[in-house]
Amino acid sequence: MSKRTVQNPPLEAGVHPRHAPHDLRQRPSSTYPQHILLLCACVGFWSSNALSPLQAQTSDTITEPIEQQEAAPLDSIEQPNMNAAPAIELEGAILKTIDATSLAAQVAGPLRELLVKEGDIVKANQALGRINDDALRLELEQLKTQIAVAQKKQANDIDERLAEKSLQVAHNEYERAMNANARVPGTYPINEIDRLKLLADRSQLEVERAKYEQELAAFEVTLAQGSYRQTYERFLRHQLTAPAAGVVVSVEKRAGEWVEPGTDLLRIVRIDQLRVEGFISSEEASPQLVGRSARIAMVDKHASKIADSQSWQGRVVFVSPDVNPVNSQVRVFIEVDNPHGVLRPGLRVQAQIEGPVDGSAEDSVAHRNPPNTEYHEPQVVEK
């Protein structure tokens, strides 16, 4: 059987390749690149039409905040808060007394009476007892009498008034004698005239002597008062008075015991104002801390329930200029009022030195510079 070869006729002009006979072997090789270029052109055209609305929306979204940022004033930018300075906490803070006084005897003698005991609250200059002062009390009574007598003498003007009366009479007699002799010479002999003149002069001197006695009586009053004050000073040495307000914590002697000068009788501790002693690091220490307010709170387990729920306001009164070479710490004193006696010496507390109110940079512990808040105008990039 013979094989017949059939050849496809050439494509006529105007005939689309789709309607052409499907013989790939006979398709020219230049047709494939044309199809690829046509496909890429279609994809590019579709992409440009689909993305143009999204680009317009994105550009509007970006442009609007930039315009608002350009119109925003400088005051709207948040500034850093310089007032929020960190508090400085003391390490090892403990309550201590400011005034603790020991009352000692100033003179020798038996202790006549003691009016207080341990735990009594006393005021300043309150009478606490006395050492035997019976002899001084009698001496003071005598001196009071002497002062009274001297004052009576000073106030007595009888001699002065008597001298003035005598002077007046003597002067009148002398004047009459002189007038009589002027009218009738020889009425009073010369010796009588001399005697009358002497009486007048004596009366004048008596007046001056009475005034002098008054001045001496004033000096006697001053001397008697000086002696009384001197004796009273010795009397006060026998009296026991509280040197300051506080609580009696110990009584060393009892009534009837003999005491010598310098013997401790009792001890008084002031608790209405206490001191908190603690330590801070040398980096945090500064002379500007003196006068700062501080917050005190109880942390001791033995503190009362009332103290656990309270805090006290204190004030920094001392920052030591010395630094401990071992741990580089500085000692700090804080004084706190304790009117109700809730705080007790020896208790451990939590103490914090509050930051400065004005927020100055030199009072800041960290000494940090504030962040840069310079305003830069945004730039719009045109595409």
Paired sense of beta strands 239-241 and 121-122, if any: unpaired
3-state secondary structure of 147: helix
Higher pLDDT, 73 or 231: 231
> Containing H/E element for 92?
strand 91-97
Residue 341 pLDDT level (bands cut at 50, 70, 90): confident
Higher pLDDT, 11 or 349: 349
The mean per-residue pLDDT over the stretch 285-308 comes to 76
| Backbone Cα Rg of the chain | 57
Q: What is the pTM of this model?
A: 0.54
- Most confident of the ranges 24-38, 135-149, 188-202: 135-149
**147, 210, 227, 233, 234 from 221: Cα distances, Å:** 6, 17, 10, 18, 20
Tens of pLDDT, residues 77-118: 444 444 556 789 999 999 999 888 899 999 999 999 999 999
Chain-centroid distance, C-alpha 364 = 20
Residue 258 pLDDT level (bands cut at 50, 70, 90): very high
Look up residue 2 and give its DSSP letter. Answer: -
- The reported pLDDT for the residue numbered 77 is 44
Tens of pLDDT, residues 28-68: 444 555 656 666 666 566 555 554 544 545 444 444 444 44
Higher pLDDT, 26 or 145: 145
Per this entry, what is the length of the chain? 383
Mean pLDDT for all residues in the chain? 77
For 306-372, give the DSSP string.
HHHT-EEEEEEEEE-S---TTT-EEEEEEEEE-TTS-S-TT-BEEEEEPPPSS--TTT-SS-PPPPP
Please name the residue that has the structure tokens 């109880």.
Answer: 298
CA angle 255, 260, 265 (to 5 degrees): 50
**Spatial contact of 124 and 243, defined as CB atoms under 8 Å apart:** yes
Please name the residue that has the structure tokens 């700090």.
Answer: 332
pLDDT > 90 in the chain, percent:
42
Tokens linked to 257: 């015991």
